[in-house]
Amino acid sequence: MMTINSIPLLLILLTVASCASNAQKMDISVIQFKEGISKQDIQILDVRTQAEYNSGHLKNAFLADWTQPKVFEERIKSLDQNRPVYTYCLSGGRSSAAAEKLRQLGFKEVYNMEGGIMAWKAAQMPVEGTPTTKPMIMEEYLALIPKDKTVLVDIGAVWCPPCKKMAPVIADLVRNSKDTFELVNIDGGAQEGLASQLKADAFPTFIIYKEGQEIWRQSGIVSKETLLQHLQ
């Protein structure tokens, strides 16, 4: 039997549950994002780098690079805290963090697109500023993987900081073990469709093939020793 004293506690629990439910809705699908930005008086925030933005972005998107905190904080000053903000990045990670930051700063409505612009493009949604680089199809990619050799595929992007850190590691690996494997470089920034098909959701992503079959993969910073271990 419910007592009078239990009613306030119940109200608190219902309020917390409601807040949690609303928080969960802040990460929205591509379709929901598309519907949201079709409304008037909204703001679209691209939190990627300038190079990423130049490679293709949503119409009317405002750029504020999340990887440069001072630049980000300065640029978002021009946004209206009382108008809805729709954020996105490459795959959803940076924009999720940026969205949380905006909420902490007092923005009333902030929505993050799950899967980022990779999911947006995969859904055949329009972008502006896309370069004329010819998209690589899966058949062309597989043709780069000879079945009689061990192949290391490096999927990265010119604007990717971890990729830049890995560049000398890969160069040293090729220089000292060039007879052990064949290296295939894929520009995931320009070939986002292929990267999505390969499930390379983060850059760099390294994939090793033997006899034409994938045997290992890992994303992010990887030691030379780990790569050698799986290449042998």
- Residues serving a catalytic function are 160, 163
CA angle (158, 126, 137) in 5-degree steps:
55
DSSP E strand boundaries for the chain: 27-28, 43-46, 62-63, 85-88, 110-113, 150-156, 182-187, 205-210, 213-219
Taking the C-alpha atoms of residue 117 and residue 192, their distance in angstroms, rounded to an integer, is 9
Give 221's DSSP letter. Answer: -
With contact defined as beta carbons under 8 Å apart, do 117 and 57 qualify?
yes
Look at the block and give the residue holding tokens 């990460």. 27
Chain centre to alpha carbon of residue 93: 6
In the chain, count of helices (H) and strands (E)? 10, 9
With contact defined as beta carbons under 8 Å apart, do 111 and 84 qualify?
yes
